């Protein structure tokens, strides 16, 4: 199981970099447009594949998640349009059985001021969510959720180092016993995160792709995640990696367009993204220092 306190500690430097990157390219020209609800309904009536998917939308604003407070259990596609002016992520934390969101929030505040943690603090489990998204982008990530109480947070930092969660971008989520009835999504590409490698089965071409992400063999006790960055025209993966490691983003024009936050070993997530011709990089911030950064080019059709 992936413990949240470890996750958050390791995330701080990365979220600072995302905050700085948000001041550059907004990524608006590569955004995924909102689906038309009437078209979805018609597709479901016609028995098209959309019928088996359960999509819930949470708009990411500066600084709040706007969306439902209760959803059914099972396969769920979280659709997150970033309508703010900074990068945002959505991290879903499954709370230990019997622990309410209020108790979790009180314990979090007490831990921040006194360093004291309740016995159950280490039993939280990070259960994925949409990865880093630039302003104007829309992410779509699917995960399998059990019934229970969850916390939804964005720990990205502002320019003064304040986490978005401290500014209101943190809320409870109840996953009910009622099941969504959705089936596991279909993917045209599979990515296995194992060791320090992105093991890809399939080729990313121009257009929209849904990528299955399998979480396996997490070394050094550090979890995997995958963040997808669109690189600048003349920017190499070395430039990108150096910028993220040093937090010196002077002259950088990359921006993040989604991915999948970390999950326990053996779990699977899916994310959908639109790929225009250009340079991209997959990046795992927990293992980027071990070389878990991979550049690829999408050629025009």
Three-state DSSP string of 95-127? CCCCCCHHHHHHHHHHHHHHCCCCCCHHHCEEC
Beta strands in the chain (DSSP E): 55-57, 59-61, 64-66, 70-81, 91-94, 125-126, 138-145, 148-153, 170-179, 189-194, 197-201, 207-215, 226-230, 255-260, 268-275, 278-283, 293-298
Q: What angle do CA 47, 69, 125 make, to 5 degrees?
A: 95
What's the DSSP call for residue 151?
A: E
**Helix (H/G/I), strand (E/B), else coil: 223:** coil
What was the pLDDT predicted at 27? 46
What was the pLDDT predicted at 10? 42
What was the pLDDT predicted at 51? 54
> What structural domains and CATH numbers belong to the chain?
4-36+51-298 (2.60.40.420)
Q: What is the pLDDT along the chain (301 residues), one digit of tens a residue?
A: 444 444 444 444 455 455 445 444 444 444 444 434 333 332 233 333 445 889 999 999 988 999 999 999 999 999 999 998 888 999 999 999 999 999 999 998 898 888 899 999 999 999 999 999 999 999 999 999 999 999 999 988 777 878 887 878 899 999 999 999 999 999 999 999 999 999 999 999 999 999 999 999 898 888 999 999 999 887 788 888 877 776 555 556 788 999 999 999 999 999 999 999 999 999 998 898 888 999 999 999 8
What was the pLDDT predicted at 115? 86
What was the pLDDT predicted at 248? 53
What was the pLDDT predicted at 47? 34
């Amino acid at each position: 199981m992936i413990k949240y306190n470890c996750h958050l500690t390791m995330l701080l430097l990365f979220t600072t970099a995302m905050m700085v990157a948000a001041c550059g390219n907004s990524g608006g020209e590569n955004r995924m447009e909102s689906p038309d609800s009437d078209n979805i309904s018609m597709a479901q009536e016609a028995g098209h594949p959309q019928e088996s998917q359960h999509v819930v939308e949470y708009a990411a604003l500066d600084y709040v998640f706007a969306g439902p407070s209760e959803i059914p259990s099972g396969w769920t596609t979280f659709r997150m349009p970033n309508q703010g002016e900074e990068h945002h992520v959505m991290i879903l934390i499954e709370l230990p059985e019997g622990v309410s969101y209020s108790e979790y929030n009180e314990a979090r505040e007490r831990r921040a001021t006194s360093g004291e943690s309740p016995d159950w603090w280490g039993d939280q489990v990070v259960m994925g969510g949409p990865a880093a998204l630039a302003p104007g982008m829309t992410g779509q990530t699917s995960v399998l959720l059990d019934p229970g109480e969850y916390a939804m947070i964005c720990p990205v930092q502002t320019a003064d180092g304040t986490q978005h969660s401290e500014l209101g971008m943190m809320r409870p989520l109840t996953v009910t016993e009622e099941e969504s009835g959705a089936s596991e999504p279909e993917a045209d590409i599979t990515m296995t995160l194992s060791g320090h490698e992105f093991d890809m089965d399939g080729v990313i071409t121009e257009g929209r792709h849904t990528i299955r992400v399998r979480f396996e063999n997490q070394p050094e006790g550090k979890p995997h995640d995958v963040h997808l960055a669109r690189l600048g025209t003349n920017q190499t993966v070395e430039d990108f990696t150096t910028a993220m490691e040093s937090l010196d983003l002077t002259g950088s024009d990359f921006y993040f367009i989604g991915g999948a936050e970390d999950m326990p070993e053996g779990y699977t997530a899916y994310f959908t993204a639109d790929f225009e011709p250009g340079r991209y990089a997959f990046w795992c911030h927990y293992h980027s220092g071990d070389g878990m950064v991979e550049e690829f080019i999408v050629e025009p059709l």
